[in-house]
Structure 1
């Protein structure tokens, strides 16, 4: 039986004659009622308001108007609007074929309908449009399935909670002034350090350095006196650093201080304070193209950034968690062994985001929550990269890979060039906002992207 929308698309006389037609019985001794129906119905009653010919696969919209399905598909492709071609009222959901009206038209005008269907099937352009229209309808059906409503609400709550956590971390970091606490030592010449600043420098060496703070405090060692101390001084009273590993660690860090003239950056916030522009560039570049970024560091920043990164992700030895020396600063400037290079290249080609996660894991004791955000983001980006490669392979678009790689390379180079030009003119407050957005809010956005990829992979193609 026709519903109220379908009934609005037909006049009362047409609806009555269709009913007579559908009640026709072949074995009845009465005169054929289909003949009566044909005599009282004209083709004008069943014309499509787009092509003005007999309806083929008539599709009824919410407003009650009927159109050939291929005419509606053509209108949708040309206008990119979900609205009636006649009255411009938007339709809801996805229009379906009016089965009762289709059967009636097929019986009343079988010859004309068969001829029109043959013409439609012979036109490849119409076939393509119909396939695209149906694919669009399938994507609408998958985008709002009932069985995923609960999952959608669940992940919405998770994202809201993670956003609140990120905001709280951001407010805590700004309110605590952690960056400002380290700015003084990494910018102030060591010869002008006070005794309190020397003790702060000792604390930054590690938990083991707490054992030797007392003598430095008693002797009131300032920066100028610190520069005069050597191996023999540390091994004798009043300092008494008898552990050779601890003494080597202090001397190695003191040599770096003497070479730089200031305290070298030893955590993320100190590195950001010294290299504000480069830290923001690396944060966004690692997220969008880790392989090109590592290659950039290898070519232009080998000793300062690339070597410490490689030694951290691919160490030359296995560090024991319980060993005191595991917390000592390593010599990050010596050339990696061939085993380290082999391990690095395998991860570089196959799992570049794992390198970032391993680097963040190594700083877990210093940056507790920040390292966890980076690790989660690296895992999410690995999933997104895997989904993109899977779509590229299964979508028979592997031939377009060279052009896509070139397009991606050009995009990265142009963005890097634009960043280099605009960076000196961007206010520091804006750079800080971009830095914390990429650090704390990008994982939350990527969680939503991963959920969409896994729940609706076809719609992301």
Structure 2
């Protein structure tokens, strides 16, 4: 009798490699070109590409953890699958080769990731060169040349903002944007353009099909899941179908196109935008308290779900105002950050929009850093010389609320000038002011 026959059954019955789970968590098929993310999850490369192109989100579809860099194919796992499960792997590979859209999606994904890496590397080099030049200027001219550079940069930005506003004034005030038009009044061309806004994949593959079937706003308002299959075909990838169907349902629920960027939000809610910019810049804690009391569903709830996310809340739920109340864990993460460093929350929220507004998001991040430094210097000064009174607190509250009630009386052109100056010029001025205060403290 052999030694294996003398062993108990639970020691001899070992699981084989074929019994292990090598399925992709997105398509639930065998992993093809498995790509490992920072969180450790493995996905088919074409599934990851479709997920990214569907919403431009650099997060894991399974755990929603953000991933950085350009994810590569896990060659060890791929070799393992080819060696021990070659027949099933080859069969799945040949099946996917029949769909040319998958190869296009992977190529587009790799192209965007490469561009992003090159842009990030170039930005780091520019910042490094500017930092070295700034140090050299301070050493040679005692900071005089550096101050002149900042002044010149502010003047140039001011001139650029005024030129941009003048051009915008003559071209219209944004009233022709699709967000200002009910869905049922959209034309066939507007529906096709709206479909194309969901990504390059939607513009190339589905916008023309909606236009070919003459789908206008009235038909879009009553479109169902079965109708979508008749328009775009039954071979639509599940990720694409989920994104398109979710967007159509949100538009049907709201009756209008929800704003998807800063400019559309400003066109729909001009007063709220000005109030947000002023309040978040000068009184962030009071601002979030006001949002919790008076704008909970539309503003506060989406914000807290973005800065303290949970797995069961999607972007479609936030856009359709169907998000659940924050959990106890979200409050425990949100409140300490709001009290100690509110600009960190704003920076986290801004980072999520980096792919939509790259320059604007970077300037907002700079403003968050400079405002945090200013607040730290103010706390240090208050700690050494306490000067807190009821008049000071009332002044802060009144200073936040007065602009909200006065903005309807101010001409729109003046409001736009103030808005763009605050967003694009003020971060540079604030950063230079922090430098001057830091040098004065030294």
Q: Answer yes or no: is the 8 Å Cα contact 2:246–2:316 preserved in 1.
A: no
- CA shift digits 1:157-205 (9 cap, x unpaired): 1342354246436645764789856743111121111111112211333
RMSD: 2.9
Aligned residue among 397, 403, 421 for 1:419: 403
| Aligned residue in 1 for 2:350 | 360
Query: Is 2:205 aligned against 1:221?
Result: no
1:220 partner SS: coil
**Cα shift at 1:452:** 1.5
Distance 1:191 1:241 in 2: 28
The aligned runs of 1:74-223 (5 Å cut-off) are 149-161=141-153, 163-165=155-157, 167-168=159-160, 171-172=163-164, 175=167, 183-210=176-203, 211-223=205-217
**Cα shift at 1:316:** 1.8
Alpha-carbon distance change, 264 to 436 in structure 1, aligned in 2, over 3 angstroms: same
Task: Report the number of matched residues.
Answer: 299
Give the TM-score of the pair, scaled to structure 1.
0.59
Q: Answer yes or no: is the 8 Å Cα contact 2:363–2:423 preserved in 1.
A: yes
Q: Answer yes or no: is the 8 Å Cα contact 1:159–1:444 preserved in 2.
A: no
Alpha-carbon distance change, 249 to 169 in structure 1, aligned in 2, over 3 angstroms: farther
Alpha-carbon distance change, 206 to 337 in structure 1, aligned in 2, over 3 angstroms: farther
Q: Answer yes or no: is the 8 Å Cα contact 1:286–1:293 preserved in 2.
A: yes
1:253 partner SS: helix
Alpha-carbon distance change, 344 to 148 in structure 1, aligned in 2, over 3 angstroms: farther
Point out where structure 1 has 5 or more consecutive residues left out of the alignment: 1-145, 320-327
Q: Answer yes or no: is the 8 Å Cα contact 2:179–2:258 preserved in 1.
A: yes
Q: Answer yes or no: is the 8 Å Cα contact 1:297–1:306 preserved in 2.
A: yes
Q: Answer yes or no: is the 8 Å Cα contact 2:196–2:206 preserved in 1.
A: no
| Aligned residue in 1 for 2:431 | 447
- CA shift digits 1:401-457 (9 cap, x unpaired): 4x2xx4443123323443244222211111111111111111122022101110002
| Aligned residue in 2 for 1:296 | 290
| Aligned residue in 2 for 1:58 | none
Alpha-carbon distance change, 445 to 238 in structure 1, aligned in 2, over 3 angstroms: closer
1:234 partner SS: helix
Query: Is 2:267 aligned against 1:281?
Result: no
Q: Which has the higher contact order (CA 8 A, sep 6+)?
A: 2
Point out where structure 2 has 5 or more consecutive residues left out of the alignment: 1-137
Distance 1:309 1:170 in 2: 31
Alpha-carbon distance change, 441 to 258 in structure 1, aligned in 2, over 3 angstroms: same
Distance 2:199 2:332 in 1: 31
Instruction: Give the number of the structure whose alpha-carbon radius of gyration is greater.
Output: 1
Aligned residue among 363, 374, 377 for 2:367: 377
Give the TM-score of the pair, scaled to structure 2.
0.61
Distance 1:340 1:159 in 2: 42
**Cα shift at 1:250:** 2.5
Q: Answer yes or no: is the 8 Å Cα contact 2:283–2:400 preserved in 1.
A: no
Alpha-carbon distance change, 440 to 206 in structure 1, aligned in 2, over 3 angstroms: same
